[in-house]
Structure 1
């Protein structure tokens, strides 16, 4: 029975629950999924510092759920995505990359809607990293903090609709929701805007399911080759002893089984 590990890298239970509802639509039996969040860390990810902290905070989840067949990283910043691809045996899908690639199959140019102002810069950085900047018509911010996206549903929907209209005017043919916390808005927003709208969490879940069922995994030929075996010193000073011992043992054998 295949199992997906769906990680919310922040520590907000309501967002983990929203992500779980989306995953449940994709991972029907015989699939199983576990929607989880780190034991500690930022309640939302809206800075490079928070993303770096969350990348480390996710490590206990890999130890606890090492039997998963693949991982969905359910934060639009894709924090730690490349590191996870190096050390996880199965495929690892980031929701931002999944959302962008899905949009590319539905139109020539896509637009992205994000909540906080700073997230626009993060998203533009990701687009360059993934080589998709020329396919993007623009990134539109709604100037709403991540944790406030559900504080006033009508206001958020109005901001989405206004932002989507602005992106359409700039040539966007498809729109991508730029936060895992916007999943619940997709259908209503799509009906209002009249363009295809991508929920990146759902897109990532479907892509992970497809990769596992196609019996595909991350290439070890170059960029995502597993780290070379080496000692990790004094981990007990920065991590809990059980996690430090596990991580040190993994590193000593180059994260090989």
Structure 2
């Protein structure tokens, strides 16, 4: 099934149509008082109630990814997508554009990726101008590694802990300083831990080596049973991607 295109609006209440966007004023692209910063969005991960809180956000497009757009506001970055049936009209969007929209926060994906993962609501997504002197070059050419990882679990009968071993299973070599094993307290304590409740161990520290991670390389960590975890790739610019998730 073909994905349908989300046409970006030009300013408030104007539906985007085919053709040139035209010039829009430059803007600092900072969230307004009614909009949620990406840093504050993380606080909703462990909030009770709605499983997908609705928020309004504003940010600068700093990268296009296979999963949507990477936006940056003064507090950090977030990934915004349209879901499975729609896609952004990237012919009408450029790096440095300031966009705003109503979104829903995916709690699970946000924790898995350790960054806000947002799904835009189709009734409002607007291009509000171009950010003055946008610093987007540092994101150029940066993308998650094309590598796969396998996970093994080892636990003795009656033990309250499990040894989790993550092994590079093929693909390109990855810098160990870009890989992190993240895990939270037991699920009985909290279903989805916040950043403050999450332990983050670097692959470099776990392996005791700064050599590139290639096929066959592995690290292990002992975790309490009933623990959620994720193997995370971090770009160094705040753009994170989950490579593997696991539950002990």
Find the structure with the greater CA-based Rg. Answer: 2
TM-score scaled by length of structure 2: 0.27
Name the structure with the higher helix share: 1
TM-score scaled by length of structure 1: 0.26
Name the structure with the higher strand share: 2
